[in-house]
Amino acid sequence: MAIDLEKILRPIDSPIPEFPPKLMTLAGGEEMVIRQVGREEIPDLLPHVAPLMHVERDFYNIVASRVYAELLGFYTHRVQDEYVLVAQIDGELAAIVNGRRVSAEVGMSYHTLALRRGLRVGAHAFAAKMEYHIDILKQKEVLIVAESPIGFRRWMIEYKLEKRFDIPHELGGVPSWALTSELYDKARSSLVVGRRPVPEHLLAKAKAGITAPSDPPTPPIDLLAATRSLGDSTATALIEQRNKLGGS
Query: Residues 224-247: pLDDT tens digits?
Result: 555 555 565 555 555 666 666 665
Q: Is residue 235 part of a domain?
A: no
Q: Is residue 164 part of a domain?
A: yes
pLDDT at 171: 96
Instruction: Using the predicted structure, report yes or no on whether residue 248 has a pLDDT greater than 90.
Output: no
Q: What are phi and psi of 188, to 5 degrees?
A: -55, -45
The strand ranges marked E within 90-238 are: 92-101, 106-114, 141-144, 162-168, 175-180
Alpha helix (H) residue ranges in the chain:
2-9, 42-49, 60-75, 121-131, 149-151, 181-191, 200-208, 223-227, 236-245
Strand partners, 187: none
The domain total for the chain is 1
Strand partners, 144: 177
10-14, 75-79, 135-139: segment of lowest average pLDDT:
10-14
Q: Which domain holds residue 182?
A: 19-215
Q: Is residue 63 part of a domain?
A: yes
Distance of CA 105 to the CA centre of its chain: 21
CA distance 127 to 227: 29
What share of the chain has pLDDT > 90, as a percent?
78
Distance of CA 213 to the CA centre of its chain: 15
**Rounded mean pLDDT, 81-92:** 98
At 208 the three-state DSSP class reads: helix
Could you tell me the CA-to-CA distances from 208 to 68, 91, 92, 118, 211 in Å, in that order?
22, 8, 11, 25, 9
CATH code where residue 137 lies: 3.40.630.30
pLDDT at 117: 82
Instruction: Using the predicted structure, report yes or no on whether residue 134 has a pLDDT greater than 70.
Output: yes
Q: Is residue 227 part of a domain?
A: no
CA distance 155 to 179: 9
pLDDT at 227: 58
Q: Is residue 148 part of a domain?
A: yes
Asked whether the whole model's pTM tops 0.75, one would answer yes
Q: Is residue 92 part of a domain?
A: yes
pLDDT at 48: 98
Q: Is residue 146 part of a domain?
A: yes
Render pLDDT for 39-49 as a digit per residue (tens, 0 to 9): 999 999 999 99
Residues 6+ apart with CB under 8 A from 180: 140, 141, 162
Q: Is residue 56 part of a domain?
A: yes
